[in-house]
């Protein structure tokens, strides 16, 4: 693992806190405007004002969230597949809160910092790059690795993850340490969504490329060493953003969003929806037995809430799309898929017929039977058009409870287990909320068991936090010096 970038180098590269919060450029793209507009300023703030409620004194750790935040005006931009990573972190300790945000200092960002401009194209429209912009030994691939999709901790490793490529190890202070090698001789490639087995503590990760019709599953030990890798074949190179882990199986659920180099060469997106290829599902036993393949009518999914085994079937809660598309206005709703591996068939049923994304559960119950899914929903009343409520779906009774954020817009909510808690819903939900009228953001904790109550705590943040992608609660993190 590389050592951290020297402090003086970082400070020289980092914008001063006297600079404006926002990046100084504009691009006419809805995903780079409003509260999607990237921030440039990296900030620290202690003893944040608690505007409502109280931060539970026994909560010690940090909520970290990643998201695409391009530093330089992009040449092309395809949300949510492009950008530089920026981690926004709220550290809680003894009832107090502290905020810090930092770019993920990737090798790609270093190239652009030296050039003083964007040099990479988009994930969907790669650009040839002048070789003179690279130093010896740098990766000259035409696609940026911004490490902007997720941030997780596994063992002692805090990892900023991108889609199906190398990830970057960070420390708790948000310094970038370098590409993660997982005990091997070179950086390992993995996806943004990974699953920890509830019994073994192993981390299972997915990997694919746009070049080959192969999906790989890596297994990392609880300490973060790469233990083994298995491969599955698909008809074409396919984008598979997430997968399912149960107690005894990995489950690959691949809709036909495929990489088509000919389309790219014809000036269209490299990602194409090919419904004629159908849905491919692989049930892969963790004991090494042969996978079972199931085919069916195509749909698309970015995110699974959870999957588990019940009475010989595999139950999967996920957000369903009719197809993959970059077009706005697609419906995305929470559904439950029930897979029968013996009959080799599946069916799906609606759990919540409202537009949603970013489904989360209490991660301590991942791969086990879960009852509650937490996810943001859009009422359509919010001026921003974004998610304005957080829903708790009881998948046993069908009951849906909501916390209405009114004029505030929210994103994904991470589960924060209550110290000493035992029930599945014994904890809090942490999210960032944006107030367009004040152009200000807050950190909000809700009671996961009583989501419609007043917030447990609302913490004012020192600057706007743009909409992002995924975050997690990192329990037990030491307070920063
Ligand atoms: Fe994701």
> Which fold is adopted by the domain 7-475?
Neuraminidase (2.120.10)
84 three-class SS: coil
The rounded Å distance from CA 471 to ligand 1 centre is 10
The rounded Å distance from CA 11 to ligand 1 centre is 31
* Selection from 188, 189, 191 nearest residue 150 by Cα: 191
**Under 8 Å between Cβ of 95 and 63:** no
* Partner residues linked to 428 by β-bridges: 416, 447
The rounded Å distance from CA 192 to ligand 1 centre is 6
**CB-count burial class (<10 Å; 0-12, 13-18, 19+) for 131:** exposed
Rounded Cα–Cα distance for residues 159 and 89 (Å):
14
Rounded Cα–Cα distance for residues 242 and 335 (Å):
16
Angle at 116 between CA 113 and CA 117, to 5 degrees: 100
**Under 8 Å between Cβ of 445 and 456:** yes
CA distances from 473 to 45, 61, 64 (A): 19, 7, 6
The rounded Å distance from CA 54 to ligand 1 centre is 31
The rounded Å distance from CA 162 to ligand 1 centre is 9
pLDDT digits (tens, 9 = 90+) for 361-402: 999 999 999 999 999 998 766 666 689 999 999 999 999 999
pLDDT of 2: 38
**Under 8 Å between Cβ of 286 and 202:** no
Please compute, for residue 227, the number of CA atoms within 13 A of its CA located in the half-sphere on the CB side.
12
The rounded Å distance from CA 241 to ligand 1 centre is 6
pLDDT digits (tens, 9 = 90+) for 255-304: 999 998 888 888 888 889 999 999 999 999 999 999 999 999 999 999 99
The rounded Å distance from CA 242 to ligand 1 centre is 7
Distance, C-alpha 105 to centroid of its chain: 18
Rounded Cα–Cα distance for residues 405 and 383 (Å):
12
State mean pLDDT over 56-73: 97
The rounded Å distance from CA 429 to ligand 1 centre is 18
7 three-class SS: helix
The rounded Å distance from CA 304 to ligand 1 centre is 9
Rounded Cα–Cα distance for residues 93 and 459 (Å):
13
The rounded Å distance from CA 82 to ligand 1 centre is 13
pLDDT tops 90 at residue 329: no
The rounded Å distance from CA 149 to ligand 1 centre is 6
Q: What is the DSSP letter of 108?
A: H
- Please provide the average confidence, as pLDDT, over all residues in the chain: 92
């Amino acid at each position: 693992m590389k050592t951290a970038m020297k402090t003086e180098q970082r400070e020289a590269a980092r914008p001063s806190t006297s600079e404006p919060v926002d990046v100084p450029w504009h691009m006419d793209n809805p995903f780079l405007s409003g509260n999607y507009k990237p921030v440039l300023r990296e900030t620290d703030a202690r003893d944040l004002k608690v505007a409502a409620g109280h931060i539970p004194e026994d909560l010690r750790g940090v909520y970290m969230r990643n998201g695409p935040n391009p530093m330089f005006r992009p040449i092309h931009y395809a949300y949510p597949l492009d950008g530089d990573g920026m981690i926004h972190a709220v550290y809680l300790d003894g009832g107090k809160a502290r905020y810090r945000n930092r770019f993920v200092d990737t090798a790609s960002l270093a190239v652009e910092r030296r050039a003083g401009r964007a040099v990479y194209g988009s994930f969907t429209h790669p650009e040839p790059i002048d070789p003179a912009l690279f130093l010896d030994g740098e990766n000259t691939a035409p696609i940026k690795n911004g490490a902007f999709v997720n941030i997780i901790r596994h063992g002692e490793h805090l990892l900023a993850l991108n889609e199906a490529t190398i990830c970057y190890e960070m420390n708790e202070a948000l310094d970038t340490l370098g590409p993660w090698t997982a005990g091997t001789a070179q950086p390992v490639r993995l996806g943004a969504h990974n699953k920890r087995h509830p019994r073994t503590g192993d981390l299972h990760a997915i990997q694919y490329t746009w070049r080959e019709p192969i999906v790989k599953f890596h297994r990392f030990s609880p300490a973060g060493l790469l233990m083994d890798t298995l491969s599955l074949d698909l008809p074409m190179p396919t984008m598979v953003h997430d997968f399912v882990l149960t107690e005894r199986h990995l489950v690959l659920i691949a809709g036909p969003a495929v990489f088509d180099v000919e389309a790219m060469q014809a000036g269209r997106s490299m990602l194409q929806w090919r419904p004629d290829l159908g849905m491919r599902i692989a049930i892969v036993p963790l004991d090494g037995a042969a996978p079972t393949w199931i085919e069916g009518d195509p749909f698309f999914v970015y995110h699974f809430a959870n999957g588990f085994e019940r009475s010989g079937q595999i139950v999967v809660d996920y957000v369903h799309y009719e197809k993959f598309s970059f077009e706005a206005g697609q419906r995305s709703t929470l559904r439950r898929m029930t897979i029968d591996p013996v009959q080799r068939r599946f069916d799906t049923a609606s759990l919540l017929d409202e537009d949603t994304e970013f489904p989360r559960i209490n991660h301590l119950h991942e791969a086990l039977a879960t009852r509650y899914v937490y996810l943001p929903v859009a009422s359509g009343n919010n001026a921003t058009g974004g998610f304005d409520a957080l829903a708790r779906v009881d998948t046993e009774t069908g009951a849906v409870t909501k916390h209405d954020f009114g004029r505030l817009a929210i994103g994904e909510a991470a589960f924060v287990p209550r110290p000493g808690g035992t029930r599945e819903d014994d904890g809090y939900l942490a999210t960032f909320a944006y107030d367009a009228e004040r152009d200000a953001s807050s950190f909000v904790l809700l009671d996961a068991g009583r989501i419609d109550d007043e917030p447990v705590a609302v913490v004012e943040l020192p600057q706007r936090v743009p909409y992002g992608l995924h975050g997690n609660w990192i329990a037990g993190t030491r307070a920063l010096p």
